[in-house]
Amino acid sequence: MRAVAAVVPRRQVSNYSLAAFSEDEKNKLVSTLGIENRRVAEPAQCASDLCYAAAKKVIARLNWKPEEIEALFFVTQTPDHILPGNSTQLQHRLGLSEQCAAFDINQGCAGYVYGLSMAASFISATKAKKVLLLVGDTITKLVSPGDKSLEPIFADAGTATALVYNDEADQMHFNLETIGREYEAIIVKEGASRYPGINADAARLSMKGLDVFNFSIQRVAPHAEALLQKASCDKQQVDAFVFHQANKLILESIGKKMNISPDKMPMSLQHYGNTNGATIPLTLAHNFGGQVFKDKNVLMCGFGVGLSIASCLVRMKETIFEPVTEI
């Protein structure tokens, strides 16, 4: 990993301003979720737009020539169109070569780590020297206005990660899990081929909150511990643990179960909310923007939609983090 950038919409919404809640409910909500402000895309603003802006940042920061980029991976669950995929449009918008491979990945909360695993595999197999991983969502477009269970949680963001081939790089360790029997726990049921109906409510995001909470509390910590064991890495050797920003209660529970010092577990949800697949790189950019990680071990773990869990352990030799910007 050479560089990470994150871009959020300019529009900021405070959870203290939600009309559907009383003052006491708002205070309790913010205290429990840990989400005070969220970034919400404008009607004409898509995940591809946010990721395009983030990609331009890393390309400029690394002084890359667009025609040198050999592959682009785009991870989202809120594409511009059902088809074609957004990766081809982004290849064109960014001015990348027609010899650039373009991949679309439909993944949610675990999408950043899934994308990293696929990009790393592609680099290993092809020896591609420069690759872009773009991860973003405008998930608020799927939330019913006034939905008291979902509106205070979700927000929008786009990110870009630049990866390079290095035959001397340390191995990246991955642990990927799928609990597909619980796929309906987080779902937009209608609007695609299985249920192409026009029920507006069914074409919105729905979530079985208690099921997702229990899944997160019970499965994530053992999953991350298994990765450390697989990589033969002691927790004390990890410089930062970056988890999907689900909510404060879940993150604090995971931290306690794994006995992680809070100063090693950066968060960003207070300022941006839960941005689905973008939360991990957004958290890195928010907490370490302007810094360069040299020889640091970072564990990243995403969990949610699918239901899926994905974690990786990466030794960052010289990774640049750009400050978060807004558009």
Phi-psi region for residue 63, left (φ > 0), alpha (ψ -120 to 50) or beta? left
Task: Give yes or no: 27 in active site.
Answer: no
Clarify whether 244 is annotated catalytic: yes
Place of tokens 């040299």: 294
Of residues 86, 175, 247, 274, which has the active-site annotation? 274
**Proportion of the chain in helix, strand, coil states, percent, rounded to 5:** 40, 25, 35
Strand partners, 39: 12
247 tagged catalytic: no
Catalytic residue among 46, 51, 100, 109: 109
Distance of CA 293 to the CA centre of its chain: 20
- Quote the DSSP letter at residue 11: -
Residue at token pair 């991949």: 103
Sign of the torsion angle spanned by Cα atoms 132, 117, 100, 84:
negative
Which one from 46, 51, 223, 244 is the annotated catalytic residue?
A: 244
State the CB neighbour count (10 A cutoff) for residue 289.
16
**Active centre residues (catalytic):** 109, 244, 274
